[in-house]
Amino acid sequence: MAKDVMRHLISIDDLSTSEIIGLLDRAEWHRVHATRTTLFQGRTAGLLFLQPSTRTRVGFHVAMSRLGGQAVEITKTKYQVGMDRAESLSDTICSISSYFDIIVARNSSSEELERVVTLSSVPIINGGSGNNHHPTQSLIDLFAIRRRTGKLEGLRIGLAGDLSRSRAANSLLRVLQRFPPEEIRIMSPPDGNPSRGLIKAFASDIINYCDRIKTDGLDVLYMAGFPLGGRMLSLSSASRANFRLTQQRAEQLPDHGVVLCPLPRIDEIDVNVDVSTKAGYFIQSSEGLYMRMALLEKYLENYKQESQ
């Protein structure tokens, strides 16, 4: 198989708008039919997660099982003898990519992931990299938005949290450029604003900045969160409180408004919001399985056709 025809999914920009709509429709098909098939019997997905994950790792594992295939999870690479750093991602990919039919990978560096795809003998799907790319999460977000509102365009969408360091928020902003919203409300402290490059792709009169959470009028409230420590912005507890979704703030959303969140939650959404009809995050997460099935199908089918 010629390596230059193999398709990988590293950024949401790697998909055309018609491919995105096709994936949403296919995920909906899997949801409606609760698909369990033997289609990919004998095929194996390598789940190479070099950063922690629950939903993406387990979700792709179960999605592969529902399609009749199997998955192998790799959460650590071998440490080089006598050295204090892990084996390089490129050496790992060169060594084991041929064991698999597809790889889903999570890595701290998007640049490193982009470099190693050329070394892989099978398609790679990015399960989250750096601060900037989480394409499978964006597709799950679009699926949740369309399921709840019936559309993708002309919505009033608010994003709250450390948006500069949230790969989910950055990836969602990237894909929303294809589906022009009526409003994008950026709710983050100045250090947590998304990059100007991402924002300038939208018409300037639809962008509103807020230095605290403001829920009125939003169709979709996306809680990107302020995880403690790690690669995220650290905030005082007073500042964190400005961006926390309380029950009272959730009730200020319109009746049809929905709260989404890539999860995991730290403290950005009060647990008593969970019982609100506006809380859409656990449904969003559980229905993410159907999008992961649609993605595995697309990239495994593409690989099969190209390698024949």
Where helices occur in 190-246 by DSSP H, the ranges are 196-199, 237-242
Write down the least CB distance from residue 154 to ligand CP, Å: 26
List 16, 41, 54, 109, residue binding ligand CP (CB under 6 A): 54
Q: Which stretch binds ligand CP (CB under 6 A): 50-58, 146-154, 197-205, 228-236?
A: 50-58
Per CB under 6 A, which region of 63-71, 259-267, 271-279, 291-299 contacts ligand CP? 259-267
Cα 197–chain centre separation: 20
Binding ligand CP (rule: CB under 6 A), the pick from 144, 262, 281, 300 is 262
CB of 173 to ligand CP, least distance (A): 16
Q: Does 171 bind ligand CP (CB under 6 A)?
A: no
* CB of 119 closer than 8 Å to CB of 94: yes
For residue 275, the SS3 value is coil
Answer yes or no whether residue 55 interacts with ligand CP by CB under 6 A.
Answer: yes
In the complex, least distance from residue 193 CB atom to ligand CP, rounded to whole angstroms: 21
User: Distance (Å, rounded) from C-alpha 76 to C-alpha 86?
Assistant: 8
Interface of this chain with ligand CP, residues 113 to 142, rule: CB under 6 A: 128, 137
How long a stretch of residues is the chain?
Answer: 308
Does position 181 interact with ligand CP (CB under 6 A)? The reply is no
Within 129-253, residue ranges assigned H as helices are 135-149, 167-176, 196-199, 237-242, 247-251
Which of 11, 121 has the CB closer to ligand CP? 11
Nearer to ligand CP, 134 or 156 (CB): 134
Element (H, E) at 116: helix 110-116
Pairing of strands 207-210, 258-260: unpaired
Is residue 296 within 8 A of residue 64, CB to CB? The reply is yes
Q: What share of the chain is helix, strand, coil (3-state, %, to 5)?
A: 45, 20, 40
Binding flag, residue 198, ligand CP (CB under 6 A): no
If binding is defined by CB under 6 A, does position 263 make contact with ligand CP?
yes
Q: What residues line the site for ligand CP (CB under 6 A)?
A: 53-56, 128, 137, 262-264
